[in-house]
Amino acid sequence: DYVGAKYSCTVSSATNAIFLALLNKNTTIQIPSVIPPVVCNAILTSGNKITFKDDVDWVGDSYVLHEFDDYKIIDSAQKVDRNQFLNEANDNDLMIFSFYPTKPVGSMDGGIIVSNDWDKIKWFKEAVLNGMSYSKNNWDRHIKFPGYKMYMNSIQCYIANENLKLLDFKKMKLNSIREKYDSINFFDHVK
């Protein structure tokens, strides 16, 4: 709801969301040269290649991780804004957020992938739950394909949800502090 997407799937880490989003795409992903190594690992272990581009403008923002013919994957590990999916993505795009402790919505790690494309999100829900069919009732699930144990646990979800409730307040406080420091001319105070 916060980012304006219809569907979501929580994942044990945003790195795992990147891994699954790129799994067996057999393509070359161009990424910023200044990026955490976990992104590189996810790209390589999902069966893809990497090239680098000089780009630091994405820091603190989201960026297009890869664009396919009919959709793109947006890595937004460092940014969470209200209605962000509505503003930055198309219905069939995927947007990935991180809940690592140092991120805007921190937790004990974890992540979420959002889209307005139910079929894509349904596949993620099955893939992260050991390849079992998606159903709210555990007894109605069955194995569809070899999947992964990559679902986000209840403790991760609880902490992320509590921090999401505080996000607007946190942003207001950070902006206030930033404005105060931006207004100070430190060279006037240096002797």
Q: What is the pTM of this model?
A: 0.89
pLDDT at 135 (0 to 100): 84
Instruction: Give residue-wise pLDDT tens across range 63-108.
Output: 999 999 999 999 999 999 999 999 999 999 999 999 999 999 999 9
Contact call for residues 157 and 10 (beta carbons, < 8 A):
yes
Instruction: Give residue-wise pLDDT tens across range 133-173.
Output: 988 888 999 999 999 999 999 999 999 999 999 999 998 99
* Average pLDDT over every residue of 116-142: 94
CA distance 96 to 78: 10
What is the 8-class DSSP label of residue 160?
H
In this predicted structure, the answer to whether residue 127 has a pLDDT above a threshold of 70 is yes
Long-range contacts of 126-130 (CB under 8 A, 24+ apart): 127/20, 127/23, 128/9, 128/10, 128/11, 128/12, 128/16, 128/20, 128/152
Instruction: Give residue-wise pLDDT tens across range 108-118.
Output: 999 999 999 99
* Average pLDDT over every residue of 15-44: 95
